[in-house]
């Protein structure tokens, strides 16, 4: 059975989270670290912007400043996400390490199969959007209100969001799984507020009709990943190189307004 590294970071600062993800990507691309699945949370809560989005167009920056709400730009595309009560994952590997080939959309669907497996372990019936003909594809600045073929839906509502970056055969994918959705908390900070959002999106608390903890979902995700890809996850920490690089990336990139504001 193949072996991957498993990193459980717990709750990290938004800038730290994005810096760690990129440090893992860089070091694995250089062949200095094993393929890695990382699970983490966000503390404090924050918005993340897709790489091609404009913070000035997506967010009320004055309101964010007044209330101390942070935002950070990702290295992946997609729409803006408010990370609050959720579990995030990131996956870094070469294509042959997870046996996914073909166009980006197809690799999305194969990689996200471990999420479907996790939802099934919770007694849910998830589907990819492309399997449900009545759905209409829609684009939105806000990730959870945008509908693409490879998005996951449960009982007609989207749950979570995923984004991917490719460098030839190197794959980086991360995603957000909301434990609960604080819609009334984050909507006032968006410039383009999606309508009827509560009717379009689910959190796990909504669909399960009970609270689920960060650690409970972490264990389900870990087991699902191992079963889906026949991979044994070995719990380890960041290497010294990764840790030093993540600190540098946080200071020189993710904490700087010129990165987070620029388009």
**pLDDT tens figures, 45-89:** 999 999 999 999 999 999 999 999 999 999 999 999 999 999 999
* Secondary structure (DSSP) of 109-129: HHHTHHHHHHHHHTT--EEEG
CB 258 within 8 A of CB 19: no
Q: Which of 12, 93, 112, 143 is catalytic?
A: 143
Q: How far apart are CA 232 and CA 253, in angstroms?
A: 33
For strands 201-202 and 126-128, give the pairing: unpaired
Phi then psi for 86, rounded to 5 degrees? -155, 170
Tokens of 211: 């609270």
Which whole number is the average pLDDT over 32-51? 98
**pLDDT tens figures, 127-184:** 998 877 565 667 778 888 888 888 999 998 999 999 999 988 999 999 999 999 989 8
CA nearest to 213, candidates 87, 52, 45: 87
- Taken in order of first residue, the domains within the chain and their CATH numbers are 2-261 (3.30.930.10)
Query: Quick check: is 143 catalytic?
Result: yes
Which whole number is the average pLDDT over 175-198? 91
**Which range has the worst mean pLDDT, 4-13, 88-97, 192-201, 213-222?**
192-201
Give the C-alpha distances (Å, rounded to integers) separating 230 from 1, 2, 65, 123. Answer: 6, 7, 46, 22
Mean pLDDT of the chain: 93
- Give this prediction's pTM: 0.95
């Amino acid at each position: 059975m193949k072996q991957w590294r498993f990193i459980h970071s717990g709750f990290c600062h938004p800038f730290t989270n994005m810096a760690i993800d990129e440090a893992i990507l860089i070091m694995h691309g250089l062949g200095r670290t094993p393929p890695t699945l990382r699970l983490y949370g966000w503390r404090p809560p924050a918005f993340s912007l897709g790489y091609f989005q404009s913070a000035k167009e997506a967010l009320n920056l004055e309101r964010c400043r007044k209330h101390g709400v942070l935002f950070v730009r990702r290295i992946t595309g997609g729409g803006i996400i408010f990370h609050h009560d959720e579990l995030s994952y990131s996956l870094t590997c070469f294509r042959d390490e997870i046996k996914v080939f073909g166009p980006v959309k197809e690799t999305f669907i194969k990689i996200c199969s471990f999420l479907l497996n996790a939802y099934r372990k919770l007694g849910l019936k998830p589907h990819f959007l492309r399997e449900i003909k009545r759905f209409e594809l829609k684009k939105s600045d806000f990730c959870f209100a945008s509908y693409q073929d490879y998005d996951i839906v449960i009982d007609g509502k989207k749950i979570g969001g995923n984004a991917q970056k490719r460098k030839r055969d190197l794959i980086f994918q991360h995603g957000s799984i909301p434990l609960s959705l604080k819609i009334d908390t984050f909507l006032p900070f968006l410039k383009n507020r999606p309508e009827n959002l509560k009717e379009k999106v689910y959190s796990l608390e909504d669909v399960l009709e009970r609270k689920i903890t960060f650690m409970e979902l972490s264990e389900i995700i870990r087991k699902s990943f191992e079963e889906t890809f026949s991979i044994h996850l070995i719990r380890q920490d960041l290497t010294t190189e990764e840790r030093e690089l993540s600190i540098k990336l946080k200071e020189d990139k993710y904490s700087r307004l010129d990165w987070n504001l620029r388009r």
